[in-house]
Amino acid sequence: MDLSMGAEAELFWADDSVIMYKYGTYNNYFPEYQNRTHITDGLISIWQSCFKDNHYSPTLLSCLKEGLISIENTSNCWSQTPSGYDSMAIRVLDRIFNQYYFRRTLPNKIGFSY
């Protein structure tokens, strides 16, 4: 059975100020969004200060509100939040932040399917 939708992301760049992930998505419910060639042309940039805060657990929402995260939606984006973010990019970010919270490391690769 094919899983219906998902995303994959890979660490693209990291230095003392910013972390960047390239990402791509797919949705098998719609032929135009199947992404069989695994295009990863979306970009997620996270300022390192999200992870160097005095708080033990940085919050995704606070970093988004403060402008410490930027998202360039993938060309395969089929669903956006009211703010215009790719819904699947938000899910990728959630997994990045969860891994940092529980393991204190940032993932090199991340992927998921529903």
21-73, pLDDT tens digit by residue? 999 999 999 999 999 999 999 999 999 989 875 555 668 888 998 999 999 99
Q: Which domain holds residue 18?
A: 5-113
**Dihedral (C-alpha) 89, 42, 63, 17: value to the nearest 10 degrees?**
140
Which segments of 1-114 does DSSP mark as H helices, in order?
A: 60-65, 87-103
pTM comes to: 0.91
Total count of domains within the chain: 1
- Please tell me the distance from the alpha carbon of residue 95 to that of residue 25, in angstroms, as a whole number: 15
| Tens digits of residue pLDDT in 81-113 | 999 999 999 999 999 999 988 888 999 999 999
For tokens 């932040």, the residue is 97
- The alpha carbon of residue 86 and the mean position of all alpha carbons in its chain are separated, in whole angstroms, by 9
